[in-house]
Amino acid sequence: MDDRIHEHADVLVDWSARIESGDDVVVSVSEGAHDLAVAVAEKIGDRGANLVTTYGSSEMNRAYLNAHDGEFDDDPGHELALFENADVVLSLGGGRNTAAQTDVSGEVRGAYSKAHEQTREAYMDTDWVSTVHPTRSLAQQAGMSYEAYQEFVYDAVLRDWESLATEMSEMKDILDAGSEVRIRSEDTDLTMSIEGRTAVNSTASVADDSHNLPSGEVFTAPHATAGEVRFDVPMTIRGTRVEDVWLEFDDGAVIDYDAARNPEVIGELLDTDEGARRLGELGIGMNRGIDRPTDNILFDEKMAETVHLALGRAYDACLPDDETGNDSAIHTDLITDVSDDSSLAIDGEIVQRDGHFRWEDGFER
């Protein structure tokens, strides 16, 4: 087995999930993630933790959902009991076809999701971590060869996480102390308030309440957004490719929008509910192992020299106890490249210019 698979398992079990002897662990294995699952099982055995393995098959899900009449039982007892009694859930993504469930109706998916609310809460109450094993299907989605995609994934995952966590905590301190953020780039001049909000240092470790591997972003919940922004990193939203999305904000809400490709997807998104027109997240990508978009939000939003904004729901962790923040059924990230002719300023002071943070070599004052 490729050494990098064992190293990935090491990071996942020790740095991310902090698995200890006696922990009751669920490992969810996608159709293409077998090799990583074997390496993870070895680590879990070595740590003296207890293992139940579930199979996360898109093709089984599709077959089940399409055959069902859509009236799902609420939170089936065996599934709920499994997650209520688990300490850790490791979700090993990596399928064989990213389009495997495209012919399941949104209505059925929604009904299934709604019927499993308690189960999802039980899952979220564990020390869960999501990661992906590089598969040919994900390489294809990224438009890359399999070999090159493997290198890409391991560059993103096998970081010096302690050192990156320290660097990101500096960014968090700046955001926590700040009141106003201004982002400038081509077709972009946006201001937003972060007054009273708390940034999350997303270190890919449950110790920091960070549940994705890779991670490498610092994010907070902005409000009172004003100005315009162009998202020049292309992405797939609800199965449709969108490019060069442009939004104009006033008093915290989107007042105009456009896109070079499939603008109607953005229109539908904005019409979801009241909160869909407001921002739930400002995130700053800081993982220098991620050097290009691969049409996979797990990676794209952490890409170094990018900033992302999410329409919709805000994370509780960013909000004061007495505030609910922006509420919405959606949370859709949109990403903009800030590597060139760009700046990120907090309270008038430039923190990042042309992709370089002020504590990095190459930063020009």
Residues that bind a second copy (CB under 8 A): 22, 24, 26, 29, 31, 34, 37-39, 41-46, 48, 50-57, 59-61, 63-69, 71-73, 76-87
Q: Report the residue number, 92 or 229, with the smaller CB distance to a second copy.
A: 92
Q: Please report how close the Cβ of residue 167 comes to a second copy at its closest, in angstroms.
A: 34
* Residue number, 61 or 118, with CB nearest to a second copy: 61
Identity of the residue, 46 or 117, whose beta carbon is nearer to a second copy in the bound complex = 46
β-strand 188-193 against 223-231: which pairing, if any? antiparallel
Shortest distance in whole angstroms from residue 258 CB to a second copy: 41
Q: Which is nearer to a second copy, 84 or 176 (CB)?
A: 84
Q: Go through the chain and tell me how many residues it has.
A: 365
| 30 or 287: CB nearest a second copy | 30
Q: In this complex, which beta carbon is closest to a second copy, that of residue 84 or of residue 167?
A: 84
Cα torsion angle, 206, 211, 215, 220, sign: negative
How near is the Cβ of 227 to a second copy at its closest, in Å?
48
From the CB of 59, what's the least distance to a second copy, in Å?
5
Contacts of 306 (CB under 8 A, 6+ apart): 233, 285, 300, 335, 336, 337, 338, 339
Q: What is the smallest separation between the CB atom of 226 and a second copy, expressed in angstroms?
A: 48
Q: Where are the alpha helices (DSSP H) in the chain?
A: 3-10, 34-47, 58-67, 77-84, 106-115, 117-124, 136-142, 146-157, 161-177, 263-270, 297-300
Dihedral of CA 163/28/79/118: which sign?
A: positive
Strand ranges in 194-260 using DSSP code E only, listed in sequence order:
200-202, 217-220, 223-231, 235-237, 240-242, 245-250, 253-258
User: Edge-to-edge strand order for the sheet containing 188-193?
Assistant: 253-258, 245-250, 223-231, 188-193, 180-185, 343-346, 349-353, 356-357
> And the tokens for 165?
């966590």
Q: Which residues contact 117 (CB under 8 A, 6 or more apart)?
A: 74, 75
- Closest approach of a second copy to the CB of residue 297, in Å: 25
As a whole number of angstroms, the distance between CA 266 and CA 244 comes to 11
Residue 114 C-beta: closest distance to a second copy, Å = 15
**H/E run at residue 345:** strand 343-346
Query: Least distance (Å) from a second copy to the CB of residue 208?
Result: 25
Task: Compute the least distance from the CB of residue 132 to a second copy, in Å.
Answer: 17
Q: How far apart are the first and last CA of the chain?
A: 48
E strand or H helix at 91: strand 88-93
Q: Which is nearer to a second copy, 108 or 317 (CB)?
A: 108
Nearer to a second copy, 8 or 43 (CB): 43
Q: How far apart are CA 118 and CA 104, in angstroms?
A: 23
Q: Which CB atom, from 78 or from 365, has the smaller least distance to a second copy? A: 78
Q: How far is the CB of 124 from a second copy (least distance, A)?
A: 16
Between 80 and 350, name the residue whose CB sits nearer to a second copy: 80
* Per-residue b or e along 233-257, where b marks 16 or more CB atoms closer than 10 Å to that residue's CB: bbbebeeeebeebbbebeebbbeee
